[in-house]
Amino acid sequence: MTGNKYDVIIIGAGASGIMAAAVALKDNKTVLVIENHEAPLRKVKISGGGKCNFTNLDMSADHYISKNPHFVKSALTQFDVADFLQEMDENNIQYQERKLGQIFCKNSSTDIINYLLDQSKDADFSFNTDITSLQKNNNIFEIETNKGSYNSTSVIIATGGISFPNLGVSNFAAETAKNFGLNVIDFSPALVPLKLQNPYTELSGTALHCKASIGKKFFYDNLLFTHKGLSGPVILKISSYWSKGDSVSIDLLPNANIKELIDRDKSSKVKEKIHSFMKTYFTAKVASWILYETDIENKNIQELSNHQVELLYKFIHFFIVKPVADMGYDLAEICKGGIDTKELSSKTFEANKVSGLYFIGEAIDIAGNLGGYNIWFAFASGFIAGKCQTNNKS
Ligand SMILES: Cc1cc2nc3c(=O)[nH]c(=O)nc-3n(C[C@H](O)[C@H](O)[C@H](O)COP(=O)(O)OP(=O)(O)OC[C@H]3O[C@@H](n4cnc5c(N)ncnc54)[C@H](O)[C@@H]3O)c2cc1C
């Protein structure tokens, strides 16, 4: 056996890896974090528009997609949102609640980054380090890198997913899992804008509150028309449930019924043009677009035929789009797929077949919805795998 010996080696200095290091260090374990780029927590830095949406007050397994939807439950029980927010308070990290229970850093993601780096400062870090081999011999993991050889009794793989390739992502976790005989579910982009064959370019940049559904799954949030198709939080959320060939049904006015609104207006004595009426509920641009698409001229609302009211109702409440593709890993916030959860213990994240080998964070087949769920799962799985090290004999 050659190289420097550590109790725990963590591969990947992202949200999950740094959390694992911080927790393992609490028991005075010797910890090495190997990162193939120059800095830690680079995704956390840009997350949430620079303010890191790190958790959500509405936390449950319902917000996660996985082949095994129950797998995440243990992690969510072991790592509690209220406890973590208390920890933030005690460390003077300011945060704020936004809509739908989302918790963001109040000032900047740098606040939570500094906290995590402070908690993990006693680890050794090896940046710009490429791993050339990882093997297990006689219960010891041996790791060869371009900077030297290391060994440990525990290895935590925290190398994330493959979305946002401009950050230099890698498929290391999946390749390592396969080398150890573990099943891996192919990655695919999630939380990603959708591409339309004929995008509504005239509306590009326009946002509106909608309900988007695929089958029984639906979300309420803002939709954004883009020059290639559709984006905005409601589309990112529903995209995680979209497969090629699926249509997305969009309710452009989810909190009202256009028929009832028209009936009410029709029966009033005031004569109002349909475009002006529509502007009460939509921007002028969207109102013009709806009338153009339904081929309704700008006449008094009392002159609308039943057929035209029906057309408006169908268009507004059941606007159906059939995306031709998603916008791919370049624009996907996360990936679906990863290490098959049936290969891991849901209580510890250790591989069932390989003792001492852990997989955490986005590398495993758990994909959170938009709203702080992905960083939260990265933190939770890191916390748990890190805590397991404190019980291990080394
Ligand atoms: C633009 C954007 C905004 C986002 N905003 C949010 C948000 O606000 N809230 C939220 O919950 N989620 C958000 N996410 C998702 C979230 O950032 C990730 O799900 C989360 O960071 C995953 O944590 P992780 O530790 O699994 O992986 P990462 O944070 O991606 O960390 C993996 C680390 O491993 C390193 N690595 C990779 N391969 C190797 C290798 N071979 N050797 C050594 N090191 C390696 C990487 O360089 C990286 O440092 C966002 C994602 C993006 C792209």
| pLDDT over 80 (residue 63) | yes
* Distance from C-alpha of 107 to C-alpha of 103, rounded to nearest angstrom: 12
- Residues 6 or more apart whose Cβ sits within 8 Å of residue 85: 55, 95, 103
Residue 266 CA to residue 87 CA, distance in Å, equals: 57
390 band by pLDDT with thresholds 50, 70 and 90: confident
What span, in angstroms and rounded, lies between the C-alpha atoms of 232 and 211?
12
Contact between 211 and 223 under an 8 Å Cβ cutoff? The reply is no
Number of C-beta neighbours around residue 196 at 10 A: 17
Q: Ligand 1 atom closest to Cα of 53?
A: 8
Pocket-testing residue among 34, 43, 52, 334, ligand 1, by greatest number of atoms within 8 A of Cβ: 43
| pLDDT higher than 90, residue 2 | no
Whether residue 15 has its Cβ less than 6 Å from ligand 1: yes
Give yes or no for a contact between 390 and 27, defined as CB atoms under 8 angstroms apart.
yes
Residue 278's identity, in one-letter code, is M
- The preferred substitution site among 65, 108, 144, 159 for testing ligand 1, maximizing ligand atoms within 8 Å of CB, is 159
The runs of H, that is alpha helices, within the chain are 15-25, 42-50, 72-78, 81-90, 109-119, 172-179, 233-239, 258-267, 274-278, 284-293, 306-317, 373-391
Per-residue pLDDT of 66-122, as tens digits, reads 999 999 999 999 999 999 999 999 999 999 999 999 999 999 999 999 999 999 999
Q: Is the dihedral of CA 122, 126, 131, 135 positive or negative?
A: negative
What confidence tier does 130 reach under pLDDT thresholds 50, 70, 90? very high
Q: Flag whether pLDDT at 1 surpasses 70.
A: no
Helix spans in 141-283 (H): 172-179, 233-239, 258-267, 274-278
> Pick from 40, 287, 25: which is nearest to 158 by CA?
40
CA of 69 to the centre of ligand 1 (A): 21
Which pLDDT does position 267 carry in this prediction?
A: 83
* CA neighbor of 251 nearest in space, from 310, 184, 181, 321: 321
Tokens of 188: 């695919």
Q: What is the pLDDT of residue 168?
A: 87
Which protein residue's CA is at the shortest distance from atom 22 of ligand 1? 362
Q: Where are the domains of the chain?
A: 4-189+335-391, 193-327
262 pLDDT more than 70: yes
What residue has token string 């969510």? 76
Whose alpha carbon is nearest atom 17 of ligand 1?
A: 43
Residue 345 phi/psi, 5-degree rounding, is -80, 130
pLDDT > 70 in the chain, percent: 98
Of all residues in the chain, the percent with pLDDT exceeding 90 is: 95
Question: What backbone torsions phi and psi does residue 251 show, to the nearest 5 degrees?
Answer: -95, 110
Instruction: Quote the Cα angle for 106-161-169, to 5°.
Output: 90
Ligand 1 atom with the smallest distance to the CA of 170 is 38
User: Over the stretch 141-171, which tens digit does the pLDDT of each residue have?
Assistant: 999 999 999 999 999 999 999 999 999 899 9
Please work out whether the CB of residue 131 comes within 6 Å of at least one atom of ligand 1: yes
Q: Which CATH class is domain 4-189+335-391?
A: alpha beta
pTM to 2 decimal places: 0.96
CATH superfamily name and code, 193-327: Translation factors (2.40.30.10)
